[in-house]
Amino acid sequence: MIEKLFPEESKVYEVLLITRSNMTPVGITRIGKFLYFKIFQGKSFDDLKKDNSVVIQIIDDPEILVALAFNFPISLKLEKCEKLELNRVAGYPWVEGHADCKVISVKDSLGESLARKCKVSPIYVGITQKTPRPISRADNYLIELGVIGSRALYALKKNLPIGTRLFKEVEKLYWEYRRLGGKSKIAEEIYNLCKNYL
């Protein structure tokens, strides 16, 4: 069943990670029957120390993923899980599982930071019927804007030299998004948030 949800091994899929007190997008991969993700310090990182219960949801609406990454207010209909004491977003397929995590140190262009590297053993897979959203290049740009925007904000707040280069990327992604018909306020907010730190 898990192979149906994540058909290609080792490909990174952008999904929603739900822990005891937080929801945030993460990139996951599937290898065999297990799912893998890496989460940097924050609320989900802290949650996973106390409780290894996780829900992974396939959400094909980038606005939901990106809004949750930036903690922008968004109203979501929640429902109870089948096996875990966690809520999930109604209407989207989900995987309930236990995450086995270890703390690692990650070195990248933003410096050195701690992360939890987690392997999820699924205990329940829930399938929903939903009309698929058509593919939109604007949506792809919004996802990229979310990813690069969160890196740019981090760098700009810490005054790292890479901050200005990341902002230029944010600017390009934002205008491409608009050019392709994207109208979400979320995109504008990310762009303005970054701009305010310049």
* Pair of tokens at residue 14: 């952008």
Q: What minimum distance in Å lies between the beta carbon of 95 and ligand FMN?
A: 16
Which of 65, 70, 54 is CA-nearest to residue 16? 65
Instruction: Give the CA angle between residues 160, 106, 192 to the nearest 5°.
Output: 40
- In the bound complex, what is the minimum distance in angstroms from residue 54's beta carbon to ligand FMN? 12
**Binding residues among 137-176 for ligand FMN as defined by CB under 6 A:** 143, 146-147, 150
Q: Do 37 and 48 touch, CB atoms closer than 8 A?
A: no
CB of 13 to ligand FMN, least distance (A): 10
- For the chain, the farthest-separated pair of C-alpha atoms sits apart, in whole angstroms, at 47
Q: Can you tell me which of 18, 55, 58, 69 binds ligand FMN, judged by CB under 6 A?
A: 69
Quick one: which of 42, 106, 175, 185 contacts ligand FMN (CB under 6 A)?
42
The yes or no reply on residue 25 touching ligand FMN (CB under 6 A) is yes
CA distance 190 to 175: 12
Sole residue written with tokens 């149906």: 4
Residues that bind ligand FMN (CB under 6 A): 14, 22, 24-27, 37-40, 42-45, 65-66, 69, 143, 146-147, 150
